[in-house]
Amino acid sequence: MSKLSQHSATQQSSSREFSPEERRLLLQLAHRSILSTFANQGPAEASFSPHLSEPRGVFTTLYLRGSLRGCVGYPSPVAPLYRAVAETARAAAFEDSRFWPVTEEEAPALEISLSILSPLFPIQPAEVEVGRHGLIVSSGSRRGLLLPQVPIECDWDRDTFLEQTCRKAGLPPDTWRKGATLEAFTAEVFGDDVGSP
């Protein structure tokens, strides 16, 4: 199973908010946002439906030949969805500090996965469902986030998911047991793979 298919599998039990046409438009927008950078121009102007213009949190994940190539997102709804997709796609390609910027030769071969987030809500550790919930762990000035597909991809149980989210925040792995703030979200995940639900 490809990475994108694994991510899509997390959504099979969820109702879909976005139609096939809306998914296609958002994925095209993400690709265009990256490709247009090489021409030193912004994404082409277009009009989007009220649904795609609602402020939403979103993460854009890039893969190249099955390997992670970048991931950047907005956990909170700071911009209309279409704009957030364009901005996070470009940032994932060129500003993820874990990777060299995407090259012009690589860009056409990128596969994109979009994770469109629900509003955040408080959650207790025992309520966390692996594969359904994404997590944010906060303590002091530190904050870590992992998307709901990550523990499925890594074959983690709930405790490991909580520990790894703490590590993502730069916190000791048991901080979730010691008063850290836990927030959760769900995500509708879809990507370029033909088998995406």
Q: Which residue has the tokens 């056409």?
A: 108
Token duo for residue 50? 């009220």
Amino acid at 189: V
Contact (Cβ atoms closer than 8 angstroms) between residue 153 and residue 63 = no
pLDDT of 195 above 70 = no
**pLDDT mean across residues, the chain:** 88
Q: Which domains does the chain have, with CATH numbers?
A: 3-7+18-117 (3.30.700.20), 121-185 (3.30.1490.150)
How many degrees, rounded to 5, is the angle at CA 148 between CA 21 and CA 74? Answer: 70
pLDDT of 13 above 60 = no
H or E segment to which residue 146 belongs: strand 142-146
**Closest-CA residue to 165 (of 153, 183, 188):** 183
**Closest-CA residue to 112 (of 23, 46, 50):** 23
State the pLDDT confidence band at 39, using cuts at 50, 70 and 90. Answer: confident
What sign does the dihedral 106-153-173-186 (CA atoms) show? Answer: positive
> pLDDT digits over 138-193, tens only?
999 999 999 999 999 999 999 999 999 999 999 999 999 999 999 999 999 999 86
- Residue 3's pLDDT is what? 47
Between CA 37 and CA 71 the distance in angstroms is: 17
**Closest-CA residue to 63 (of 107, 117, 115, 28):** 107
Contact (Cβ atoms closer than 8 angstroms) between residue 185 and residue 75 = yes
What percentage of the chain reaches a pLDDT higher than 70?
Answer: 87
Give the global pTM. Answer: 0.82
pLDDT of 1 above 50 = no
- Residue 104's pLDDT is what? 95
> pLDDT digits over 58-88, tens only?
999 999 999 999 999 999 999 999 999 999 9
